[in-house]
Amino acid sequence: MTGPDSDSYRRVAGRFASGIVVVSTELNGAGHAMTVTAFTSVSLDPLRVLFCAEKIARFHDAVLARGVWAVSVLADDSEKVARWLATRGRPLEGQLDAFRHHPGALTRAPILDDALAAMECRTTAVHDGGDHSIVVGEVLAVSEPHPDGGPLLYYASRYRRLSGEGG
């Protein structure tokens, strides 16, 4: 075993398949969103989830300032959405205009209409995670717009889809 550098660490960490979500918030009347692979359920009692946001991302400051956000779980046909919202330097205005979405009832954060599932959350804690912040949130509401679809996954630096049902 060798001591890790950032490139070897990224390769090895990329061997863990993860689902892809879009985390979004509304700030000053504008929707802000970011593709996220570092997302997980934390607790059932109380209901908690977390995601990690890179500190230099514009989204980072917007979501921390607002304190509420939504999570849209991407379906396997949502690669275009994932790629666009992962693009650095994309315009701040109208980032979600090309994708059908609606404001969450409780948070007003944009929720993608074609999501497999969605959650509205309120930030309960923010922890230092090196070059990222670990944002923990209380789940305020859930929905399943398209519960029968398959998820979009990320593995070994590529978008992937489930090939079939497990057994």
Average pLDDT, the chain: 92
**In this structure, is residue 8 part of a structural domain?**
no
Is the model more confident about 145 or about 19? Answer: 19
**In this structure, is residue 24 part of a structural domain?**
yes
Give per-residue pLDDT as tens, 6-29.
Answer: 888 888 877 888 999 999 999 888
**In this structure, is residue 124 part of a structural domain?**
yes
**In this structure, is residue 2 part of a structural domain?**
no
Kindly report the pTM of this predicted structure: 0.91
The pLDDT value given to residue 167? 40
The pLDDT value given to residue 153? 95
**In this structure, is residue 12 part of a structural domain?**
no
**In this structure, is residue 9 part of a structural domain?**
no
What backbone phi and psi angles, to 5 degrees, belong to 45? -145, 95
Count Cα atoms within 13 angstroms, Cβ side, for 77. 9
- Looking at the predicted structure, is the pLDDT value of residue 164 above 70? no
What residues make up the domain containing 79? 19-155
**In this structure, is residue 137 part of a structural domain?**
yes
Is the model more confident about 2 or about 146? Answer: 146
Give per-residue pLDDT as tens, 22-75.
Answer: 999 998 888 999 999 999 999 999 999 999 999 999 999 999 999 999 999 999
**In this structure, is residue 6 part of a structural domain?**
no
Our count of domains for the chain comes to 1
Write the CATH number for 57: 2.30.110.10
